[in-house]
Amino acid sequence: MSSLNLSTNKPLLPAAYVALAAALLIELAPIEVRAEDNTVPLVMEIFIADKYPIPQFQANLNWPQLPAGTLLGQVSGLAVDSDDTIWILQRPNSVSAEDLAAAAEARGGDRCQTAPHVLQFKQTGELLRGWGGEALAPILDGINQWPANVHGLFVDGDGVWLAGNGGDDHVVLNFSKTGKFRQQYGRRGASGGNSDPELLGNPADIFHDPASGQLAIADGYINRRVIQFDNRAHRFDQLWGAYGRPPAGVRAGQFDVSQAVSEERGNPESASFGDIMHCVNRASDGLLYVCDRRNNRVQIFKADSAGRMQFVANLAVSPDSRGPGSATDVAFSPDERYLYIADMANGKIWIYWRENLELLAAIGGNGRAPGEFTWLHSVATDSSGNLYTSEVSRGRRAQKLVLLGFSAPL
């Protein structure tokens, strides 16, 4: 594949470059690091250049900033608060003693440590606070409710929501922003299958609307459904599977990391959700987006006049993907014209025109360079249109992709 080295630092890419990229599927090669702000413009594939402005990004190499000697583990959750602070959820238990020893040796023998599970950062990268762990969670029937393997994060005016997909992690917990426990749904050690209106099955992700009380959970690694509660009354509302039908299929036994990948190609036309239901997010127009990672797709739903969720669309995302599957998370631009979908298998962020789901462009690819991704897990946006991403497995990092501007359509 041919490439162009764009030597301009201007926010808007010249239209001629965009046209050529669209015609030949050219990857726009990054330029050298900009010394004045330590950023790198990103490699992009552009598929449509003559209809819509295309957002352009650069990677900020100064984000996030952690105390010296502090290591991140797998970063399994990401959220942006209404004040544009950025929250990440990471797994301290994924950092081994060997990792800490190697980091300490690299620092001349200084002791290293893992970061806490939940971290809050400024847009500029400074760490504001961190907390997490069993000491903050309740104990029910002798079982501490803090997940063994945290997965999925949502932050709103009602605080911080997090889930877990480790052994017996059938729980969603809600904390204040300073880490005080408030409430939970489901419970560790208990799961009742797809039709159970109370218990969960390794939930993966959460969306909550404080105004309406809508709490939607992608329930997710054992069950194969979306379940919704009315959080104002703390009661069950509804549940559904693919295409809005009753959910079908439950994973036999506990989920373990060996089941995160598959040699088989996902089926974007499957009548039921696959065995990794990975994300849920809602736009302001009420459209609810659900990631069916195993089947390489996002399904879209919307409530009818009676409040019952109805199927709207089935969007295949890199449909021939194998391994971990493609669709892991969705996010929206501040004006909600653009839909961003994180693709784990291919290490890309796909950019769609949200109104008609036309694929416009892609960012990244599998790798370790800035703006590339290893086990891309989450994507989120702030009010300025910047993107934030997280990586699990060997990735173990979060990145900030700064919005430069938009290419003008030809």
pLDDT tens-digit series, residues 359-393: 999 999 999 999 999 999 999 999 999 999 999 99
Nearest to 230 by CA among 215, 211, 245, 208: 215
Burial (0-12, 13-18, 19+ Cβ within 10 Å), 211: exposed
The number of beta carbons lying within 10 Å of the beta carbon of residue 384 is: 10
Q: Would 5 be classed as within a structural domain?
A: no
Cis bond upstream, residue 64 (ω within 30): yes
Phi, psi of 294 (to 5 degrees): -65, -30
**How far apart, in Å, are the Cα atoms of 146 and each of 168, 253, 361, 405?**
11, 20, 39, 41
**pLDDT reported for residue 7:** 28
Q: What angle do CA 33, 372, 73 make, to 5 degrees?
A: 105
Q: In this structure, what DSSP letter does residue 260 have?
A: G
Task: Provide, rounded to the nearest whole percent, the portion of the chain with pLDDT above 70.
Answer: 91
**How many domains, the chain?**
1
Task: Specify if 64 maps to a domain.
Answer: yes
Virtual torsion, Cα 41, 43, 49, 53, nearest 10 deg: -40
Which pTM was predicted? 0.90
- Determine the structural domain holding residue 229 and report its residue range: 59-342+379-399
CA 268 – CA 245 distance, rounded (Å): 16
Q: What is the CATH number of the domain that holds 108?
A: 2.120.10.30
Report which secondary-structure segment, H or E, holds 282. Answer: strand 277-282
Summarize pLDDT for 222-243 with one digit per residue, the tens.
999 999 999 999 999 999 999 9
Euclidean distance between CA atoms 113 and 69, whole angstroms = 6
Low-confidence ranges of the chain (pLDDT < 70): 1-36, 410
pLDDT of res. 35:
58
Cβ contact 332:340 at 8 Å: yes
Q: What pLDDT, on a 0 to 100 scale, did the predictor assign at position 91? A: 98
CB 309 within 8 A of CB 227: no
Within a domain: 29: no
What does the pLDDT look like over 246-266, one tens digit per residue?
Answer: 999 888 778 877 777 888 888
207 part of a folded domain = yes
Q: Is residue 272 a part of any domain in this protein?
A: yes
